Structure 1
Amino acid sequence: MEKQDQLLMKKQNKNLVLEIIKQQSPISRMEIAKVTGMSPTTITRIVNELHLQGFVRETELVTSGVGRKAVLLDVCGDVLYTIGVELDKSIIKIGIVNYIGEIVSCKSISRDPLEKYEETLGKVTNLMKELIGSHNVPNEKIIGVGVGLPGLIDYQRGIVTVSDQLKWKNVRLAADLQELTGFEVKIDNELKMKIVAENISGKARESKNAVLVGIGSGIGSAIILNGEIYRGESNNAGEIGHTVLDPTGNVCNCGKIGCLATYISEGAILSDSRKVKDITSIEEVFNAYRSGESWAINILERTSTYIALAISNILCLYNPEVIIISGSTIQNFPEIKEAIEKKCDLYIWEPIKEKVKIVYSDLRERGVVLGAALQAQNTLLELE
């Protein structure tokens, strides 16, 4: 038991040192010793091990100031890679991400909303092989794949319980994709993957408590509390699209009446627009708003009202430091931001309004891919 405790302690120390170098590089061995409280001898041993394994390198930089100069350390981005995949109703995106969180290659292809599960898996596998081959990434350096997709996801068993957008139910996505690619696969809801990216390199990187709201083909949220993803009992925390706004309202495809998604999602906006005009795409609705057509202004004004109400309710429930708004609706129709902000100012409770930051994601179309790859790295990387 004592030997196992010692091995565990050594592993934890090694992980801690590597994380400090990764977060604070360039950094000297002496600075690491001060931060960790470990002896310089222990730090030197750990750094040497990490160097031999390819994780750490000495930079050409040295510390400044008086006294003996110390060589600074940095991490090696090409020591390993993970692959991030985003699956959505009409698109598949795949990116290769290195150890320091840089997307070294990314590509997207279209997906037929009605295509079969097996066809989508085939597209993912072929595109993945194409990316790996075109950028000469050695397979042995790829430690795994992360997949983000809309729906209710059993991330522990790798099963898509239900995805309305993809028309999937109880599919063994992780196991099936692993069999096709040979890589270990982790799956999760797309917004939970995206908030990982926001927490590491986006608008939530300095926050312990944050909420990400995604508005597009559907609507949902992901929550970080005390630095960890809050999942709830069955990984469904944040599914705000099925909170009921009006029990006498629109019928939702979940079977309930008056769900938030039936007022905010792009499908709901299109459905209401077609009651007035022959509309074929969401872009036509946005253009009609820009042209000053009253029906489009009314529909999108109502949409911004419901978005603000959803944000207000989230803030009262979780009281985060920052709430990040993202999604295709925000990207393709930035004019809605001003309306959301005005209505947030109207509806958000004053004591919360004074403290919270309401911001918009900068990660745009790469957020889910990056987050999925980073989550795969977080869960699959095992230091020897």
Structure 2
Amino acid sequence: MEKHDQLLMKRQNKNLVLDILKTKSPISRIDIAKMTGMSPTSITRIVNELQLQGYVRETEAVASGVGRKATLLEVCGDVLYTVGIEIDKSLLKVGIVNYVGEIVSLHKNKRNESESYMETLLKIKAIIRKIMDENDIAATKIIGLAVGLPGYIDYKNGIVKVSDQLKWKDASLAEDLKKLTSFNVIVDNELKMKIVAESFTGKAKDSQNSILIGIGSGLGSSIMLNGEIYRGETNNAGEIGHTVIDPTGNVCNCGKIGCLATYISEGAILADSRKVKDISSIEEVFQSYRDREPWALNIMDRASTYIALAISNLLCLYNPEVIILSGNTIEKLPEIKQAIEQKCQLYIWEPLKQAVRIVYSELSDYGVVLGAAIQAQHLMLELE
């Protein structure tokens, strides 16, 4: 037991030193010792191990100041890589991310809504191989890949239980993709992947408690509490799209009546728009809103009202430091931000207004890919 405890402490110390190097480099050995409280001898031993494993190298820079100059250390970004993947109804994104969280390469491909499950997986395999070849990355340096997609995901077993947008059900995605690529695979809801990216480098970077709301082809949220993703019992925490707001309202594709998504999602907005005008795309609705056509103003005014109500309800339930709005609707119709903020002033409970920041994601193109790759690194990297 004593030997086990010593090994555990050594591993924890090694991880601590590496975390400091990742966030503070270039940094000297003596500064690491001061930050950790460990002896300079222990730090030298740990750094030597990390150098032998390829995680750390000495830079040409030296620390300035009085006395002997200290050589600085930095993390080697190319020591390992993870692959992040986003699968959406009409778009497929695949990116390779290095050890320090930089996207080395990002490929975007159109996805036909009619293409089969296996066609999508084969396309992913081909894109990964192409990126590896283009960037001369050996398979031995990739420790795994992670997929973010919309739907109800059994993340422990890598199974897509239901994805209405992709029309997948009980798909063993992690197992099937591992068979095709030979890499270990994790699968999760795309908003849970994206909030990892927001916490790593985005709008929630300095927050322990945050909520990300995605508004687009669907509607959902992900919740970060005390620095960890809050999943609930079945990984469905944050599925606000299926909260019932009007029991006499619209029929949802989940079978219930009056779900929030039936008033905010792009499909719901399009369906209501087509009752008034021959509309072929959500972009036409947004343009009609900009042109101040009365029907479009009314539909989007109702949508902004329900978005503000969703924000208010989430604030009352979880009291986060920051709420991040993201998704296609926010990105393609930035004019709606002002309407949402005005409605938030009306509906948010006064004691909560001053404590929260309502902001907008700036990780539009790569948030899910980056978050997935970071999550893969967190879960798959084991330091000996």
TM-score scaled by structure 1?
0.99
Q: Deviations over 1:265-299 (max 9, x none)?
A: 00000000000011010000011111121101110
Counting only pairs closer than 5 Å after superposition, residues 147-296 of structure 1 correspond to structure 2 as 147-296=147-296
Shift of 1:114: 2.5
Q: Secondary structure at the match of 2:73?
A: strand
Between the aligned partners of 1:212 and 1:151, the Cα distance in structure 2 is 16
Q: Secondary structure at the match of 1:146?
A: strand
Tell me, yes or no, if structure 1 residue 116 matches structure 2 residue 127.
no
Q: 21-30 or 312-321, which moves further after superposition?
A: 21-30
1:72 corresponds to: 72
Q: In structure 1, give the amino acid aligned to 2:241.
A: G
Instruction: Provide the identity percentage.
Output: 71
Between the aligned partners of 2:69 and 2:235, the Cα distance in structure 1 is 50
Between the aligned partners of 2:5 and 2:292, the Cα distance in structure 1 is 69
Q: Secondary structure at the match of 1:364?
A: coil
Q: Secondary structure at the match of 2:365?
A: helix
Shift of 1:32: 1.0
Counting only pairs closer than 5 Å after superposition, residues 116-155 of structure 1 correspond to structure 2 as 116-155=116-155
Measured on the aligned residues, the alpha-carbon RMSD in Å equals 0.8
Between the aligned partners of 1:348 and 1:339, the Cα distance in structure 2 is 14
1:105 corresponds to: 105
Shift of 1:101: 0.6
Between the aligned partners of 2:347 and 2:40, the Cα distance in structure 1 is 55
1:41 corresponds to: 41
Moved over 2 A (4+): none
Between the aligned partners of 1:57 and 1:250, the Cα distance in structure 2 is 60
Q: Deviations over 1:11-31 (max 9, x none)?
A: 111111100110111211111
Between the aligned partners of 1:73 and 1:316, the Cα distance in structure 2 is 45
Shift of 1:53: 0.8
1:60 corresponds to: 60
Shift of 1:89: 0.6
Q: In structure 2, give the amino acid aligned to 1:125.
A: K
**Unaligned runs of at least 5 residues, structure 1:** none
Q: In structure 2, give the amino acid aligned to 1:225.
A: L
Between the aligned partners of 2:361 and 2:72, the Cα distance in structure 1 is 33
Between the aligned partners of 1:352 and 1:162, the Cα distance in structure 2 is 35
Q: 119-128 or 208-217, which moves further after superposition?
A: 119-128
Q: Deviations over 1:150-209 (max 9, x none)?
A: 001111101011101000111100000000001000110000000000001111110000
Q: In structure 1, give the amino acid aligned to 2:67.
A: G
**Unaligned runs of at least 5 residues, structure 2:** none
Q: Deviations over 1:17-69 (max 9, x none)?
A: 10011011121111111111111100000001001111111122222221222
2:354 corresponds to: 354
Q: In structure 2, give the amino acid aligned to 1:126.
A: A
Tell me, yes or no, if structure 1 residue 88 matches structure 2 residue 88.
yes
Shift of 1:110: 1.0
Q: Secondary structure at the match of 1:307?
A: helix
Shift of 1:121: 0.9
Between the aligned partners of 1:23 and 1:131, the Cα distance in structure 2 is 27
Q: In structure 2, give the amino acid aligned to 1:2.
A: E
TM-score scaled by structure 2?
0.99
Q: 329-338 or 23-32, which moves further after superposition?
A: 23-32
2:303 corresponds to: 303
Q: Deviations over 1:83-127 (max 9, x none)?
A: 000001111100010001111101111111122111111111111
Q: In structure 2, give the amino acid aligned to 1:58.
A: E
Q: 55-64 or 190-199, which moves further after superposition?
A: 55-64
